[in-house]
Each structure stands twice: as structure tokens, then as C-alpha cells.
Amino acid sequence: MDHIEVRAVHVSDAFALHELDFDFETDRIYTLGVRNQLLHNHVNGNEDGRVAFAFELVETAVDPPLYKNFHGSENSLGKIKALLRLTEGGFVALADGKVAGGIFLTVEDHSSVARIQNLIVGRQFQRYGIGSLLLSCASDWARKQKCWAIVIETQNTNYPAVQFYLRNGLEIWSINRHFYPPGDLSHEVAIFMGKRLLSTPEA
């Protein structure tokens, strides 16, 4: 791969993005542990013995490995087209002139954060820094929109994505056990990750 460039995304990129193989396979996931018991909280060096809930994401091996097929979902091309029509900002990466990935963003005006609606990198183009490059472009775009943070939602089953975002400076900000409606994703845990771009929102 000799040359990688980034440009603004267009609705006409939908087919090329859909043709990318962005399914994933993992032999690890995160399982959510929940405890409700007497925990020893330390306040000013003293134990107060209050009852508290404790939540923890535990890295867990799975055998056989988990495979997620995004192309198998109904009307997956239509979903990408709809996503592009709603995108306020976004970029595609071109590897030697071919679409290799894309990132799509919207601004949540009420909280002044930029939300990554999706980040796609074709499996054949991974490990070339394309995802990190797209994420960096998204962060620059978000700063220009005066957003104080960039956020994304992923799932406990998408171990590779969580690891990628952690490597790129995002942190786990919250989790939700009941975020997804009844259906294929209802058993999954939503993981919300974010990264501060500005110390305070700009007026």
C-alpha cells in the first residue's frame, strides 16, 4: 500500500463502503459483572460500610470465536445510505485510490459533543493506521464544531473495537445493560466511550 489519503465523505460513497468487508471475529469479549453487596468505601481514610453496586467489565475468552456478519443484516446497503444522508460530517480514507474506510459524525447540540455514528475499515486495509487516521480527522472536525468531546457507542462483544478506541485515547464512560430493544442485540451490553477534546464547551 503506497498512498493513503482522506477526503470528505459523499452519499455516492455508499456502495464502495458497503462492499468493504468490515465483519469481525474475536476470541475475547467483555462480560459484565454486577455485585450488590457491602463494599468498604474509604472516605477520608475511614471505612463507612455503605451498601453499593459494583459493575465491572471482565475480559473473557470465548470458544468457538464469535463472528459478526454486518453484511448479513437486512438492507445493509440501505442502512449505509440512510446513515450518510444523516451525517453532518465525515471522511473516507482512500488506499491507492480505493475506498478503504469511512467515519460518520453528528453533533448533539444539547451536550455539545460529536457522536461517531459509525467507523468502518475494510479488513484487508486494517493494521495500516487507517482507523486511527480517520479518528484523528473526526477529532479535528469536532473541535472546529466547538465540541468538547467525541463519543461512540459499541458493544461488549466487539472486543477489537473497544481495544482500538482505548489505544486511541478514548475511555469507557458508561455502560447500559438494557440499551438494545428485543432482538438479536438484546443480550449485548452497550459500552459508551469518549475522549475530551476541550477542557470546557466553547460558547
Residue-wise pLDDT tens digits, 28-42:
999 999 877 655 555
pTM of the predicted protein model: 0.87
Evaluate whether 70 touches 154 at the Cβ level (below 8 Å). Answer: no
Grid cell, residue 111, equals 451536550
pLDDT at res. 47: 57
Q: Is the pLDDT of residue 44 over 70?
A: no
pLDDT of residue 106: 97
Burial status of residue 107 (CB atoms within 10 A of its CB: 0-12, 13-18, 19 or more) = middle
Can you name the residues that pair with 185 across neighbouring β-strands?
A: none
Tens digits of residue pLDDT in 139-173: 999 999 999 999 999 999 999 999 999 999 999 99
Is the pLDDT at 111 greater than 80, yes or no? Answer: yes
**What are the tens digits of pLDDT across the range 91-104?**
999 999 999 999 99
CATH number of 4-24+67-196: 3.40.630.30
